[in-house]
Amino acid sequence: MNALFQRLIAPITKRKWFAGRYRLKRRLGTGGMAEVWLAERDDGRAVAIKRILSHLDDDASIRLCFRDEARLGSLLNHPHLVRQIEHGYVGQTPFIVLDYVDGLSLRQLAEKAYGAGTTLPLGLCLRLVAEVAEALHHAHQATDAEGKPLNLVHRDISPDNILINEHGQAHLGDFGVARADCNQRITANGSLCGKLAYMGPQQASAERIDHRADQFSLAVVLFELLACRRLLADTTPARTLGRILYTDLPSITEVTVGLPKSVVKIIDKALSRDPEDRYENCGQLATDLRLVGRHFDACEDESYEALLAHLQSLDGKPEPLPLATRVKRRVRVRRWVPVADHTELGFVA
């Protein structure tokens, strides 16, 4: 009996405490330089722990990058940013402890809707993107402990880095490749940081960029949410780069039906090739999104939960949004979502 008991509890007793007060539960994801774990703090609170991959422990450049991310996280505090709780070292390995956002990424939500044969409601899309724009404006205006501007640029805005909690609120995370004046690690000239399919022409050309590069990337995210197709992504990185640098992007009116002109104007402005033609800052973008979105957003807590329940009831498997070159049909934009009625389909011939 004792031997059986020991075998049963062995997996539990082998779960060591991490950094003295966190018990690792399961791996949430792995990136190029780090992995993220769901963990439980000694007071029972769920958190996310980000740490460098073990085989990169001795990479000085990666360690500097990780240290920069931890430093930036300690200087940022906004309701729509994933909050950093603490950072430190276990031996020689740095780690960052973050709030755990229990929900879907924006990409998962979009793919869930697309796989179910429907679209996300306009008001929800506008509100989520407005929340991220407000978080970005805070980050862009952030200063160091002495009040000196950080001149921060996130450089990796994408649906993967936008998390939606159970109440339908957006949280922007992952400042791992962010550029700031206080960074110890300097990006080499000509190198690209971030996801190519969300870069503007200046970032994709490895030119010096400012906060308006993040605005362009966020506008790409909004375009894809409403059009249910990728905007810049193509079959190869080279073709994607070609679309960014040399192809005239389609207006969202060419691929959607029923989108208000006020929304079209916002997207066109934020997607301008010339940064001087974009919004002066993400705060202005957020203001316009809020002004337009208040007429359409019926997705508060209970209706967001109803939307998720409806998507689940359609029993469709999540599907990646298709490349723009492979889609011929247009998308009917859904104006709002009644709490008890999510029966509209969004696709038209």
Q: Which residues participate in catalysis according to the annotation? A: 156
Amino acid at 161: N
If you search the block for the tokens 């703090």, which residue do you land on? Answer: 41
Note whether 179 and 251 are within 8 A (CB).
Answer: no
Cα–Cα distance, 130 to 306 (Å, whole number)? 22
**Run of H or E residues at 310:** helix 301-313
Token couple for 38 = 């769901």
**Run of H or E residues at 132:** helix 122-140
Sign of the C-alpha dihedral computed for residues 339, 288, 246 and 107 taken in this order: negative
Angle among Cα 30, 98, 172 to the nearest 5 degrees reads 80
Note whether 99 and 83 are within 8 A (CB).
Answer: yes
- The CA-atom distances, in angstroms, between 176 and each of 143, 180, 193, 194 are 18, 11, 10, 9
Cα–Cα distance, 118 to 168 (Å, whole number)? 18
Note whether 216 and 270 are within 8 A (CB).
Answer: yes
Distance in Å from the first CA to the final CA of the chain: 67
